[in-house]
Amino acid sequence: MMLAVGAFWSYQTYSRAHSVWAALERSSNFTQAVMTLGLLLAARYYGIPLGRQLRSIAVAFGAWASISTANNAMIDLFRSFLPYWQILHSLSFVALISTWTWALWMLAPEPRVADRPVPAAELSTWTENWNRTQSSLRRVKPS
């Protein structure tokens, strides 16, 4: 759905944009930032623990994509912002790489998701279905 919103936004600004590249990049960066935020919110909702490394990578990427989106929007509004955009875009990418380097420099294992025991009935049902699938695949003759 976010890809569709990004594509629609890109189509709407195509006629008004000074640069087609800026319109496409703005739409894709917006989609990436929202999808990253959605993944973080889904992990929090379902109680999946995120370690320092994964959380830092996701937040840094989301921040970079958001800054790029804002910069490309400013180019459409004020063309004179282009020199500042080039500097800010480069600095935000350096901050992204610095954050990733900091997050990955020392090993910090991700927390394990609690393993729940699988009931025997559920396991036997799955095994039966898997065996049936394999036998039906063996019967299929290639043409």
Taking a C-beta distance cutoff of 8 angstroms, is the pair 30, 69 a contact? yes
Residue range 8-60, pLDDT digits in tens: 666 666 656 556 676 677 778 888 888 888 988 998 888 888 888 888 888 89
How far apart, in whole angstroms, are the C-alpha atoms of residue 67 and residue 26?
10
pLDDT attached to residue 13: 60
Host domain of residue 10: 2-111
* 36 belongs to a structural domain: yes
* 121 belongs to a structural domain: no
Output the DSSP codes for 41-93.
HHHHHTT----HHHHHHHHHHHHHHHHHHHHHHHHHH-GGGHHHHHHHHHHHH
pLDDT attached to residue 54: 86
* 67 belongs to a structural domain: yes
* 117 belongs to a structural domain: no
* 31 belongs to a structural domain: yes
Number of domains in the chain: 1
How far apart, in whole angstroms, are the C-alpha atoms of residue 121 and residue 127?
10
* 46 belongs to a structural domain: yes
Query: Which has the higher per-residue pLDDT, 112 or 20?
Result: 112
pTM of the model: 0.60
Residue range 113-134, pLDDT digits in tens: 666 676 788 888 989 999 999 8
Taking a C-beta distance cutoff of 8 angstroms, is the pair 23, 76 a contact? yes
* 134 belongs to a structural domain: no
How far apart, in whole angstroms, are the C-alpha atoms of residue 130 and residue 136?
10
* 132 belongs to a structural domain: no
